[in-house]
Amino acid sequence: AIRVRRSSDDAEQDIGFGTDDFLDTAALTAFVGSGDGYVTTWYDQTGGEAMTNTDVTRQPKIVDQGQIITTDTGKPAIYFLDKFDSPSGTSTYLSSPDRASTIEITSYFFSMVVKRDVDHDMEETFGGIDTRGRAHEGAWYRGVQSFINTNAARAGLSGKGLVESLFRPIMMRNRGDVAQFWQGNTLLNTLDSVEEPDLDSPKTLDQVHVGGSSFEDNGFTGYVTELIVFPWYGDDSWPLTYYVDAAGAWEAGTTVWNEDAILPQLFDYQVVLYDWLETLTVEDVTLTLGQTFTFDETLLSDDDLADLWVMAENLTTSRVVRGEPEWYVLDAGDGKGIEATGQVRIYHDLGSNNDRSYSNEVAQLYNLDIPLSDGGQGNPYYKDPAMGRRAMVVAIVDMMMYHKELLSGNFATWGDMYGKAFLSWAETYRWAGEVLPQNARDAFEEGMGYFLDHALVNDTSPRAVNTNMDMFFIHGAAEFYMATSRQDLKDKCLQAVKRWLFGYTDGKLEVKHKVFPLDGTTPRGGVFSPSGYIMEGDQPDFFYGGESLYHLTGALAAVMDRDSGTIPTDWEFLKEVVRRFEEWRLYQYWYEPGVAGSCCGGIRPGYRYHGGAGFSGRTGNGAPSGQASGIKYKVIADLFADLRYDGIYSNEHNPALKDRQTMIDDIADVLAERTTEMQSYYVGTAPTWNGWSPWPKETEYVPAKGWYSRLKALEGDPSTFPPSARPGYYYNKAFGGPPTGYEYWAYKNTDGTTEWGFFMEAQARQGGYKGWYGGKIETFWTEKTGVILINRHGKSGCDGDQEDSSCFDNLDYKAAHHVWGRDENGRGFTTLLLRGYDLQRTSVFDLGATTPSVTVTNVFNDPSYADNPTTSKTGEETGYELEGQVTITNKVEALSNGVRVTHTVTSDGTDQVTELWASIPVFLRLYNPLRVGDKPQEDLDDTTIEYWDGSAWRLMPEDQNGDGIPELVTTTKLRLGRDFLLGDGPQYVYVGFDTPQQVRLSTQKYYDPYQTQTGVRTVHFDMHGNPGTAIPMPTNKSLQYTITTTEPDGGGDTGVRTQTLNLEEGWNTVSFNVVPTNLSVETLFAGIRDHLVLVQNNTGQVYYPEFEIDDIGTWNVAEAYEVNTTAPVTLAVSG
């Protein structure tokens, strides 16, 4: 059969056939041993010239480390590598050149039983026949670019459904006047010489190749088990006759199928399901319309009523439920039917062009039990076989078509695509699969198994781009786990869920747990961070996290025993995932103590929760936002005693659980709507099947029985409030663990009078979405002022009105806590936008210290970007703003009455900067003129931002000289005031500096353009000394300030002092211990001008009065200066 070279000593040996007519595997393994085996010769079974390759670097493999390479079905196979996967950089191949027997290119039949394993997005060369080893001169299988008669007559396979990754025979044949290309049992294209005259161009061929040739080095990565070339076209029966023989031998496709089917018939399960579809008549799927939905509230306890209320609230009857019955059979004979129009048609919802996999909507109606007191049924379609069949028809067609798309290697391979559909199929099968005969049930489960197999190995499962959509699959896997009785499928469900969350099929939280893909190696890892969030592109996202949490919790509800509320032992890991997720979210809820808007009851005390979310990688909204239904919170509240808020309350502290009469009214309204809608069929042509973004119906789930009574009894209990609102509840809590380490810090304490707290981001590494990092206080809060600092951006990116997170034109007014600056050309850099998997940034948590702290060290010009300095992930506008060594460290310490923040800049002094700032984002109020919707604090004033001028509090100045930049002031403290109009006057938080500090306002207020009512005014603290002038980046400079509930220095010294300095003739080093009212250098030295030669700062800038040169302009009280005089003089400075 073949001749094999073993890697251990390069010895060669012929290997024949075994007793089963396949390769003699025993002889092969005995010869090769524990090493590798390479095919040097593949013998022609007709006795002609063999295919060979003497180049040891390009020989294909058949044994890998002692294991025979086999197909998915266990048959021995020759494995080829393309030029990207081959160590030689050229493909592996076998060739038979200069054969004695020749073939005419106008009369041949060429076949390979082949599968491509890896797609490198190139024109692959699988195999063919020619004269000189050049594909374009012969007939070659090259995927969609296959040549029938040289490159002049191509197979025309683009868009024809060729699936290169499917293990099937491919067949090419040409007769001159007609040519065909088949894959498996499907004729993909037919050509004739009228439309393609070059089919009949004569040419004699004498070479056969597989995997490439000495000239064709692209090749392909995958395996071949059989290659046949006949010197004739054959009759009409040949392709299918050959296919059945080859498929039966190699288990490379079904050998019995419905030949006239339009629906896929590539696998045995599809044949069985199609056979079931063929049995359905229009009468089998005809509904009895005009029936009434009803319920008997006297029969239902509060808990039973609450269950029905949850299910009824999301009960719908779209056209998927009530389409004309003819569209649920293959062909009704009147132009209607799934295949009747020559295309596959099946109903999806009209709600949007993405509401496609809606079989679960039908199954939900089939499964909804509403018992009546007389033993009757309030849901007229409960267990109605016609309704159940409709559900299964939609699911079966959707799954078969999706499987075809999945094999095509397009979007359908993504976890966020097929995963959504998988949930719909799983729910449908669990609720309505009983209408199928046993053989069809077995076939349906077999089909689901193919998707589970894909989920266990595919690199885009999960894709982790729209990870909220990836989580549909987790939910679906749990539903299918409960629906199937096959233990192998149950095991696959568990393995897939663990792989998607933790990176390994046997993964364990924080133990065998890899986070996608922080180290860039394989396996990529899972998408659950030990901090407690599902990563959107490896970054948290608070808003999209709601959808993820909905499906993770739905998976828990799916496996829960509703009678006892227990979770199966095998699924306990998911309970901890859900607990961490909601805990991470809930510790970011900080409340406003008052609202004042017509939307929300006027001026009143309140508990309006919100929080910063600068870390969000895709959206911008923070607590308490979140996609998807709130039922997830009720399940969580019933499972976890300390995470109950969202399950009990809907807004502020208003009950989310409705009273009995309200639930009765709501249910009655919904059932009346369903009764009205189910009076008649939806009339219209079913749309052609389309798999793109198949959002399934959101069907609800419920907690354990009795949940309503348990949660209702807890209303108003302070222990059910978010942690920030629980009086006397204090914490110093880190979020994270192996493998990422700690990433977030939540803290709450009291100064003895006022409770206060903050939430800090300290995530050292992350993915490429454009969230904000670097170590920052996301939210600072006190019970009297509410939120006083908040980080907020719009949609991530910088493309369009709502995207602004990564822009640099808004650097001056970003609502962010960060260190930033501009180079000598005015281009920006910021710690916010430095992000990546391999950063040298470190995050150190020291929460057990007397003064707890977290320190984040940001390294610019990170080595991981040495080969790509212009990437948007460097934290620099173009990538060239900082070219030297620059490190910025942000440290936050928890004090008894607030925090101390220290920013430290170290560098090699290489770079020039014109600005260097540390900034805090001061929250103004919940009022945003750019966004529609409720404005809870419309009638409040913005937070006041005042500075201490040495004798009184003054409002921070705006621009006064027309340059567009608010004026700098020098101060030792700021006061941030909020007045909720509740009669107790303004409430304050203070920012204090150890030494006089130059500060200014941002150029404008910031309003979130995307999702929230947040308004912010950022305040900048100068770390430069003379903004606007170019100086070397400081080599070691720190700025320290406190944010506290009490005023620094007990209210401060209000007196004016005079400092007297006795200057000697010549050079003097001068600094001030007072803050002058006027910081102009010219004004300060006006009294000694007659004896003054020069004033110089540490960057070389000068004030030279004789020549009227003033590069310094404004005196920086935090700096020392060199002053040269012509005689001893006395300088007096007041401030």
Encode pLDDT of 764-800 as tens digits: 999 989 999 999 999 999 999 999 999 999 999 999 8
Q: In the predicted model, is pLDDT for residue 409 greater than 90? A: no
| Cβ 1048 vs Cβ 1042: under 8 Å | yes
What mean pLDDT do residues 656-678 have? 98
Q: Once rounded to an integer, what is the mean pLDDT over residues 1024-1039?
A: 97
pLDDT digits (tens, 9 = 90+) for 516-573: 877 767 778 999 999 999 999 899 999 999 999 999 999 999 999 999 999 999 999 9
**pLDDT digits over 975-1015, tens only?**
999 999 999 999 999 999 999 999 999 999 999 999 999 99
Give the dihedral of Cα atoms 245, 248, 250, 254; nearest 10 deg.
120
Residue 351 scores a pLDDT above 90: no
Query: Are 469 and 551 a contacting pair, CB within 8 Å?
Result: no
Q: Contact at 8 Å (CB) between 839 and 880?
A: no
Which secondary structure element, helix H or strand E, spans residue 413, and what is its range? none
| Span 4-23, average pLDDT | 96
Amino acid (1-letter code) at residue 1132: A
Q: What is the mean pLDDT of residues 731-742?
A: 98
Annotated domain spans of the chain? 2-250, 783-1051, 1058-1134
- In angstroms, the CA 526 to CA 1090 distance is 73
DSSP labels for 1052-1118? ------EEEEEEPSEEEEE--SS--S--BHHHHTGGGGGGEEEEE-TTS-EEEGGGTEES--B--TT
Summarised one tens digit per residue, pLDDT across range 30-57 is: 999 999 999 999 999 999 999 999 999 9
CA distance 401 to 471: 22
Three-state DSSP at 419 gives helix
pLDDT band at 353 (very low <50, low <70, confident <90, very high): confident
Are 60 and 211 a contacting pair, CB within 8 Å?
yes
pLDDT at 1055: 56
- CA of residue 679 relative to chain centroid, distance: 42
Angle at 706 between CA 703 and CA 708, to 5 degrees: 75
Which helix (H) or strand (E) segment holds residue 648: the answer is helix 645-648
Q: How far is CA 357 from CA 436, 442, 476, 650, 1121, in A?
A: 19, 21, 13, 30, 73
Q: What is the pLDDT of residues 242-264, one digit of tens each?
A: 999 999 999 999 999 999 999 99
Given this model, what pLDDT does residue 1051 score?
Answer: 44
pLDDT at 446: 98
DSSP letter, residue 261: -
Question: What pLDDT was estimated at residue 1057?
Answer: 78
**Omega of the bond prior to 869 within 30 degrees of 0, cis?**
no
Q: Which is nearest to 185 in space by CA: 242, 145, 226?
A: 242
Closest CA to 362 of 413, 414, 397, 410: 397
pLDDT tens figures, 213-235: 999 999 999 999 999 999 999 99
3-class secondary structure, 751: coil
**Torsion 154-160-166-171 (CA) sign:** negative
Q: What is the CATH number of domain 2-250?
A: 2.60.120.200
DSSP SS3 for 248: helix
- Tokens 């460097």, located at residue: 874
Cβ(323)–Cβ(681) below 8 Å: yes
Cα–Cα distance for residue pair 974/997, rounded to 1 Å: 10
Identify the CA nearest to 191 among candidates 168, 175, 169, 213: 175
Give the β-pairing of 207-210 and 221-230: unpaired
Q: Report how far residue 931's alpha carbon sits from residue 1004's, in angstroms, rounded to the nearest whole number.
A: 17
Q: What is the pLDDT of residue 826?
A: 98
Residue 575 DSSP SS3: helix
Q: Which two tokens stand for residue 469?
A: 């959509």
Structure tokens at 449: 């198994």
How many Cα atoms within 13 Å fall on the side-chain side of residue 796? Answer: 27
Whether the per-residue pLDDT at 1052 is higher than 50: the answer is: no
* Alpha carbons within 13 A on the beta-carbon side of 824: 8
**H or E element, residue 556:** helix 542-559
Residue spans of beta strands (DSSP E) within 491-577: 528-529, 533-534
Q: Enter the pTM of the model.
A: 0.88
Q: What average pLDDT does range 262-276 have in this prediction?
A: 97
User: Of the given ranges (178-187, 237-246, 405-414, 848-857), which has the lowest mean pLDDT?
Assistant: 405-414
Q: Count the neighbouring beta carbons within 10 Å of the beta carbon of residue 1047.
A: 15
Whether residue 1054 is predicted with pLDDT greater than 50 in this model: the reply is no
DSSP string of 926-984, one letter each residue? E--TTS-S--TTTTSPPPEEEEE-SSSEEEPP---SSSSSPPPEEEEEEEEEE--SSSS
Integer CA distances (angstroms), 561 to 242, 369, 554, in order = 53, 18, 13
DSSP letter assigned to residue 151: B
pLDDT tier, 408 (very low <50, low <70, confident <90, very high otherwise): confident
What kind and span of H or E run contains 777? strand 776-782
Q: Average pLDDT for residues 920-949, to the nearest whole number?
A: 97
Percentage of the chain beyond pLDDT 90 is 93
Structure confidence at residue 1134 (pLDDT): 86
Q: Residue 1053: its pLDDT value, please?
A: 45
pLDDT, tens only, 468-503: 999 999 999 999 999 999 999 999 999 999 999 999
**119-123, 675-679, 681-685, 759-763: segment of lowest average pLDDT:** 119-123
Beta pairing partners, 1021: 918, 999
Which is more confidently placed, 119 or 852?
852
